[in-house]
Structure 1
């Protein structure tokens, strides 16, 4: 499928202009953007079929989980056949059996194997000034793959098909860094998940949700299969330090041994860095955030949804 360059990048992830996103939301607050794009030029359920049945995928490009527990890879992988000296090739029939039992399928690293997503990730990297990783999540009806948790990186959720209810809660840690994974504060995360959510919304095809690092979230499918993509902000920069705007190398900074963790103070610098990147891009297309409540259309099921 030909890639429409005009439909690439940040305007497909958020419903506000780049400048507003940089100033109000980047690494600061979640943003729900209903009815933004159909995303079918990037990945479809048929595309998931093709990846499972025709690419000889191996771990760790595939993970599976159910009700908050990661499923051991041995339950859906095996040998590659006569003469193939590998033991971790994904077997699609085992994956389909686990899906039928309510498990969630995670396809990881799609920014390396799917040409439309390779181009999409490259465009976002230019706009955001930081590498992007793309995963896809396929979940059966009335199912949940993961318990409430937070990530130590920002994410964009793009709903491809089906309906998925997202509950988003205030952070328990301010801008956590990779060494502050949610498992170390599991009790606090569970308590936050029991409070009134900041966002309670059902994502349907074309909706997008931005979550800064640290915001507690969980998602459950409704009465049909759900496929969504998750775009992770990957960075090789040290925790809390913003990526340099394109064309301007970051200046090295020394950190005193007795200095406290810099993440809270650095959030403002991160937004400033994205703000400068947005300015370099020129004016963005006019966009407007839409209200949360709207009709929820249904989607036809594909082969995987039988």
Structure 2
């Protein structure tokens, strides 16, 4: 699916700057799932979903995934299913149209089905989002940045009071609405409708600090304890010198070789929602991979799996779902293929198999990649 968008203009004028609506940005758009298929996916135990019911000027959230929706009526409710790209190849293919943005930022593809009047209420996201209109029509309003009061009696949902819109438009199939963090927005369904929300997140300071601590523990770093040659005469006072010395200890830890790189690689390759691997049963054996190679099988990446490298890293390390794996020298081209391409030809994955067969077999038996004829 091709995105009809001037990428350079978008990145320089809109990305993380201002919201905008792109009409027919996905021409001839075809929904990857039907409403019934989405409802069926919501029934799966490992799938996160919820139902939002509108009652006048208020909204409430209920657990998603049910066999019968008839008691909700034919209006004023919406089913939302998270990380559909982890479970459906066609949904994952839709995400590839937006791969001009880095993989580490991409969070998930949420798909929603809404009846007339349905929506999630006015809210503000702390991440970038692209909203794609599928089947049906929805009216979207986006307001300016500002200090918005929390909406009272919103049932634990992070809703805000109404706002004066700077965008007020009806979206049709193939339209794309981009909203940066901090802009209030609200959608109202006009006809039974499918919508697709691609979220792009970045770590906060707190998340980075927490990840540094976790990685330091895993690597056995950060064991040095503070010492001082002098103590303040006031026993209840922590001296400024000691405060600065402790801060210097933390700064020195961050400069430990590999700590920051491992922290970023592990953190940014993790998914907020669980992946859905299907490890082969029984586990693959080397002879089966040899046969697949001889037959010209392709190596297909698990939907939703992030495979990252860090620029400037000379160790040829790949980060997958919060773990790190080292590749042998001479596999630079193969490593780039593993990161860049969702599907690899035999010529592209054969070097890894010939050089590090145990590593590729591990990935196959974890379900991170699969072999397809």
Bin for the TM-score computed over the shorter chain: 0.5 to 0.7
User: Quick one: distance in 1 between partners of 2:310 and 2:8?
Assistant: 19
Which residue matches 2:196?
A: 229
Q: CA deviation at 1:159?
A: 0.3
Which residue matches 2:51?
A: 64
2:125 corresponds to 1:151: yes
Which residue matches 1:258?
A: none
- Per-residue Cα deviation, 1:79-136 (whole angstroms, up to 9, x for no partner): xxxxxxxxxxx3321x343253531111111110110222343564563342231011
Q: CA deviation at 1:38?
A: 4.7
5+ residue gaps in structure 1? Answer: 1-6, 77-89, 174-181, 252-280, 282-306
Which residue matches 1:139?
A: 114
Seen in structure 2, the aligned counterparts of structure 1 residues 159 and 102 have a Cα distance that, compared at 3 Å, is same
User: Quick one: distance in 2 between partners of 1:144 and 1:220?
Assistant: 6
User: Quick one: distance in 2 between partners of 1:119 and 1:221?
Assistant: 25
Matches within 5 A, 1:31-46: 31-38=20-27, 40-44=29-33
Q: What TM-score do the two structures reach when normalised by structure 2?
A: 0.48
Seen in structure 2, the aligned counterparts of structure 1 residues 32 and 144 have a Cα distance that, compared at 3 Å, is same
- Per-residue Cα deviation, 1:29-78 (whole angstroms, up to 9, x for no partner): 0111112225744524xx331242477423752210022433332xx6xx
- Per-residue Cα deviation, 1:251-297 (whole angstroms, up to 9, x for no partner): 9xxxxxxxxxxxxxxxxxxxxxxxxxxxxx9xxxxxxxxxxxxxxxx
Seen in structure 2, the aligned counterparts of structure 1 residues 54 and 204 have a Cα distance that, compared at 3 Å, is closer
Q: CA deviation at 1:185?
A: 4.6
Seen in structure 2, the aligned counterparts of structure 1 residues 25 and 64 have a Cα distance that, compared at 3 Å, is same
CA contact (8 A) 1:159 1:228 kept: yes
User: Quick one: distance in 1 between partners of 2:46 and 2:77?
Assistant: 17
CA contact (8 A) 1:133 1:234 kept: no
Say which structure, 1 or 2, has more relative contact order (CA 8 Å, 6+ apart). 1
CA contact (8 A) 2:80 2:112 kept: yes
User: Quick one: distance in 1 between partners of 2:47 and 2:174?
Assistant: 28
Q: What TM-score do the two structures reach when normalised by structure 1?
A: 0.57
CA contact (8 A) 2:123 2:184 kept: yes
Matches within 5 A, 1:1-306: 7-8=1-2, 11=3, 15=5, 17-38=6-27, 40-44=29-33, 47-53=34-40, 56-58=43-45, 61-67=48-54, 68-73=58-63, 90-93=65-68, 95-98=69-72, 100-121=74-95, 124-125=98-99, 127-129=101-103, 130-141=105-116, 143-172=117-146, 185-186=150-151, 190=160, 193-195=162-164, 197-222=165-190, 224-236=191-203, 238=205, 249=311
CA RMSD of aligned residues (A): 3.5
SS state at 1:57 partner = coil
CA contact (8 A) 1:125 1:132 kept: no
User: Quick one: distance in 2 between partners of 1:28 and 1:54?
Assistant: 35
Q: CA deviation at 1:227?
A: 1.1
Aligned residues: 208
Seen in structure 2, the aligned counterparts of structure 1 residues 213 and 28 have a Cα distance that, compared at 3 Å, is same
User: Quick one: distance in 1 between partners of 2:113 and 2:119?
Assistant: 9
User: Quick one: distance in 2 between partners of 1:186 and 1:250?
Assistant: 47
Seen in structure 2, the aligned counterparts of structure 1 residues 56 and 149 have a Cα distance that, compared at 3 Å, is closer
